[in-house]
Every structure is written in C-alpha cells, then in structure tokens.
Amino acid sequence: MTKEKAPFVFLLLSTFLLLSLFVGKQVTRPLDLTVTQTLQRYGFKALDYGMYFFTLLGSIEFSCFALLVVCWYLYRKYQWPGVFIYLFFFMALSGVECVWKYIVAYIPPGPGFDRNPFHFWFFSFGTYYSFPSGHTFRSAFLLGIWYQRLNQKYVPAQGNVMIQKIVIIVLSFMIGFSRIYLGDHWMSDVIGGFLLAGIGLLLVSQSPHHELRPA
C-alpha cells in the first residue's frame, strides 16, 4: 500500500467499524427490513433465477477457483510475486469476515424472505449471523483485481477498458442486489462486504513503480 492510499484505508476502515457498531446495535434493522420488503414486492420467478446466477459468482466454490486461476495467470505471464499478496489478503479477510459475524451477531433474513430457486452448494460454511456478506466481499475483491489490472501503466489492457469497467460496476451492483433480493442478506451486510473488499484492495495495491511486465 502506498502512503497516498493510507487515508482512504483509514476512511474505509472507520466507516466499516462505525457501520458494524450501528448494525450490532440494531440501528440499521428498520431500514434493512424496508429495503428487502420493497425489493421483493416486485419479484417474480424468472427474476429469481436471474438473481441466483449473479449470487453464484460470489460463492465459495466459484470465487476461490477464479482467484486461483487469475493468480496463476498473472504469475505465469508476468512472473509477478505480488499475486501471493492477493491470495494472502483474500484468505485473511475471509477469516475476518467469518469472525466478524460472531462479533456483530446480526440475525439474517428469515425463511419467509428466501427466494432462492435452488439450495445446492458443494461447500457450505453457513453461520448464524450475516454481517458482513461474504458473497459480496469475495465477488467485489475478485472484480477489484480485474479493475486494478486495467489501470496498470506498463501492461496495456486488452479490449475496451471503458466497457470492461462498466461491466465490473454492473456485476458488482447485481451481485450485491441479488443477495438482498433473494433474502440471503440485508443491505447493511452487503455494504459491509463492499467495504471489507475495498480495504483489502487498497492494502494490496501497488505503487506505480511496481507495475506488471511480461516475463
């Protein structure tokens, strides 16, 4: 992490801790409940399947496999040891996410909000609590790696950079939206997941003098 980004890390961390306090004190519960009820009021079966597709992108199975593939590609193509920093922070913050659920102890939406068309996972590490959203954290972290690679100075991005950035933003929004719509998480959980991913991406980001170069 560069010195210029230290204030942003402090800002995101402070926001995350403040949100954690509000969530733990149940301050966000009325707003969370209102948002979920409003979104589900306009739900229908076809949309359930569409949202389920987006929520799969943040699953443990997909996110871990995708991260390993991305890191393997970056290391093989550029011989860049920085990929291990991505792996370290992904695993470390995944641990923080799990532990933080028990620290905050925020009850997730009940079965009455469940709109998932399927309930099948190869790996299940469910907890009794929901803050922050692990799906959101993992997907935002992966999409953030993609975004950071687009901004590398000495490695021209392939394809239209602007279109790729729009895709990243849309996917991030839809994944977060799907978690609320399907009744898996509250809005505050999703925001917490995005904040946690942002903290990790800022910590792992490199100085402009440490750019990727083809091997």
HSE value, Cβ hemisphere, 13 Å, CA-based, for 69:
8
Provide the whole-model pTM: 0.89
30 to each of 42, 50, 100, 165, 199, how far by Cα in Å? 19, 27, 21, 34, 27
Residue 123 within any structural domain of the chain? no
Residue 193 lies in a domain: yes
pLDDT at res. 6: 86
Residue 109 lies in a domain: yes
Q: Is residue 214 part of a domain?
A: no
Residue 106 resides in a domain: yes
- Residue 12 domain-assigned (yes or no): yes
Domain holding 50, by residue range, is 3-117+128-204
Residue-level pLDDT at 208: 41
Q: Are 126 and 203 in contact (CB under 8 A)?
A: no
Per residue in 80-116, pLDDT (tens digit) is 777 888 999 999 999 999 999 999 999 999 999 999 9
pLDDT at 95: 93
Identify the CA nearest to 144 among candidates 124, 163, 164: 164
> What parts of the chain have a pLDDT lower than 70?
1-2, 120-126, 153-158, 206-215
How many helices (H) and strands (E) the chain has is answered by 8, 0
How many structural domains is the chain composed of? 1
Evaluate whether residue 197 is within a structural domain. Answer: yes
Predicted pLDDT at 128: 85
Instruction: Examine residue 100 and state whether it is found in any structural domain, yes or no.
Output: yes
